[in-house]
């Protein structure tokens, strides 16, 4: 076993590293949840776009049919007026207009048929996309709910560990605790207390001094002179 001071510090460090791990994981959740929301919104928007595309085709068809009605109405009016026209030139002009309108009506009726086919295809595409995307959205929602529940579990465990931490702090003297907290707050991510194996520091991976080895063998609080992290030996060493 390690020296008594190291055992106490290891116990505290285990708690603190677990808290840090949980808080790091918790900090990543908002981004993951945001990504899921983006995927959900994209799937919903894709279905809405397909629906709007079908609606636009339907509106175009109605517009074309309205143009046909106008031309038919115009031809009916011209036909009624033609019986009352005395001048041949005017009569021929009316017939020409009627013939031109008939051609336009024929072209427009062809366009109506094309739009009807396009509308049916658009409806099929919309229904298929809606079915597929609804399944995707449901899966995304389920995953989102899982992340929400996971976040709750992380917060609960963090709160529990922090509540129990003071009991572990009591086993460490104030001076050691102050240095430990500074090392724990460091940005290198290395635990404040590391093991020495084969006289090599577990933090900087350099050979520790003979004096440090002597101090650890005596059970004294010891730091690596290279990286300043706390170091300890187990019974094997």
Say if strands 193-197 and 230-232 run parallel, antiparallel, or are unpaired. parallel
Residue 186, burial from CB neighbour count under 10 angstroms (0-12, 13-18, 19+): exposed
Cα(11)–Cα(17) distance, integer angstroms:
10
DSSP state of 188: T
pLDDT at 235: 67
Confidence bin at 84 (pLDDT 50/70/90): confident
pLDDT of residue 135: 94
The answer to whether the pTM exceeds 0.85 is no
Alpha carbon distance 67, 49 (integer Å): 27
3-state helix, strand, coil in the chain (%, to 5): 75, 5, 20
Closest CA to 43 of 120, 138, 123: 138
Give residue-wise pLDDT tens across range 111-170.
Answer: 999 999 999 999 999 999 999 999 999 999 999 999 999 999 999 999 999 999 999 999
Backbone angles phi, psi at 224, to 5 degrees: -70, 130
Tally of CA atoms within 13 A in the half-sphere of 197 that contains its CB = 5
Give the E-state strand segments of the chain in sequence order: 193-197, 200-201, 230-232
pLDDT of residue 1: 61
Nearest to 227 by CA among 192, 178, 177, 198: 192
Under 8 Å between Cβ of 43 and 115: no
Task: Give the residues across from 166 on adjacent strands.
Answer: none
| Mean pLDDT (whole number) for 177-199 | 94
pLDDT, one tens digit per residue, over 12-21 is 999 999 999 9
Distance between CA atoms of residues 162 and 12, nearest Å:
11
Query: What domains can you pick out in the chain, each with its CATH number?
Result: 22-165 (1.10.287.1490), 176-232 (no CATH)
């Amino acid at each position: 076993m390690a020296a008594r001071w190291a055992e106490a510090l290891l116990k505290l460090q285990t708690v603190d590293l677990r808290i840090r791990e949980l808080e790091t994981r918790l900090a990543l959740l908002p981004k993951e949840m945001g990504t899921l929301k983006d995927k959900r919104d994209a799937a919903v928007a894709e279905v809405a776009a397909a629906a709007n595309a079908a609606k636009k085709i339907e509106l175009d068809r109605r517009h074309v049919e309205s143009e046909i009605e106008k031309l038919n109405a115009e031809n009916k009016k011209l036909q009624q007026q033609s019986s009352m026209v005395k001048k041949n030139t005017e009569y021929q002009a009316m017939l020409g207009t009627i013939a031109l309108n008939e051609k336009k009506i024929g072209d427009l009726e062809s366009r109506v048929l094309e739009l009807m086919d396009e509308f049916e295809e658009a409806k099929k595409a919309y229904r298929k996309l809606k079915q597929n995307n609804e399944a995707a959205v449901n899966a995304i929602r389920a995953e989102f709910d899982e992340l929400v529940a996971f976040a709750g579990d992380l917060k609960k465990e963090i709160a529990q560990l922090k509540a129990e931490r003071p009991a572990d702090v009591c086993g460490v003297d104030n001076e050691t605790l102050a240095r430990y907290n500074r090392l724990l707050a460091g940005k290198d991510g290395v635990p404040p207390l590391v093991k020495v194996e084969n006289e090599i520091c577990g933090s900087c991976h350099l050979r520790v001094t003979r004096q440090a080895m002597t101090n650890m063998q005596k059970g004294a609080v010891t730091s690596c002179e290279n990286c300043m992290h706390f170091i300890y030996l187990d019974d094997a060493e």
